[in-house]
Amino acid sequence: MKNLFWIDRGTGRPLVLLHGGFLDHGMWEDQIPVLAARHRVIAPDSRGHGRSANATEPFRLCDDLAALLRHLDTGPAILVGVSMGAGTAVDTALEHPDLVSAVVVTGAGASEPYFEDAWTKQALATWHGAMAVGDLEASVEAFTVLGMGPRRDLDDLDPIVVSRVMRMARSTMSKHSVGEADHHVPVTGPWERISSIRVPVLAIHGGADSPDHIEMAERLVRAVDDGRSVTVDGTGHYPNMERPEVYDKVLREFLDTLIT
């Protein structure tokens, strides 16, 4: 596992925190000490993000996670993911079900996103346009706007949260260059397979997130046998960062329902 960086804190039932795309394990800094009081908390940087190495050969995020959990000799783990991390959690439940005891998602329902909302599509186009020409600062700002959600001005949000998102995004985006090879291999047909997930699933929505992100998470909840959802009002794509005390309470209440 020399290509991956991770944090491993606490003891007890394993709980894995999976960050969003272009961020890193630092997005969980408010959760790690709280959750490590009762759980073994594992927070990796996905390949090509944060302090983990860039990919040099084909890989799947769920296989990286499975290899890490086996390397650490954990039992079935509770997977908690935001955005890309949510997709990885779902993929791992599909591809490596023996390693997963529950799934918590925010801002995604599977690793195959789709977008129909006009604001979201425009925000994505702005971000992708900046990325295509290698404008790092414009890419970071457009990415942050997308994460904060529609009808919200960055100047009106907590400057500490905005700064944290921008710092992580800048760090990961600067590891990559325009035109570099994309070695990531997507999992095949995740939406068609999500009803096969048999573990409890919780969706924690940011109430001010884009409608597409919320609907994708709701689609997952509706498809599984044991699915439920909670909304954290006044937050966008990263409710754990914007209102950590509320997010932590919702997550702890869900964890308390799981059979130990």
The pLDDT tens digits of the residues spanning 60-73 come to 999 999 999 999 99
User: DSSP letters along 211-247, please?
Assistant: HHHHHHHHHHHHHSSSEEEEEETT--S-HHHHSHHHH
Write down the pLDDT at residue 239.
98
Write down the pLDDT at residue 260.
54
Q: Which domain holds residue 236?
A: 5-115+181-257
Write down the pLDDT at residue 95.
98
145 with 16, same domain: the answer is no
Is the CB of residue 100 less than 8 Å from the CB of residue 79? yes
90 with 208, same domain: the answer is yes
Write down the pLDDT at residue 3.
87
CA distance 18 to 24: 8
125 with 107, same domain: the answer is no
149 with 187, same domain: the answer is no
217 with 99, same domain: the answer is yes
185 with 234, same domain: the answer is yes
Given a cut of 50, the residues of the chain with pLDDT beneath it are none
pTM for this entry = 0.97
Write down the pLDDT at residue 259.
66
> Identity (one letter) of the amino acid at 229?
S
How many CB atoms are located within 10 Å of the residue 149 CB? 25
The number of folded domains in the chain is 2
206 with 158, same domain: the answer is no
Write down the pLDDT at residue 195.
97
71 with 161, same domain: the answer is no
Digit-coded pLDDT (tens) for 79-122: 999 999 999 999 999 999 999 999 999 999 999 999 999 999 99
Write down the pLDDT at residue 80.
98
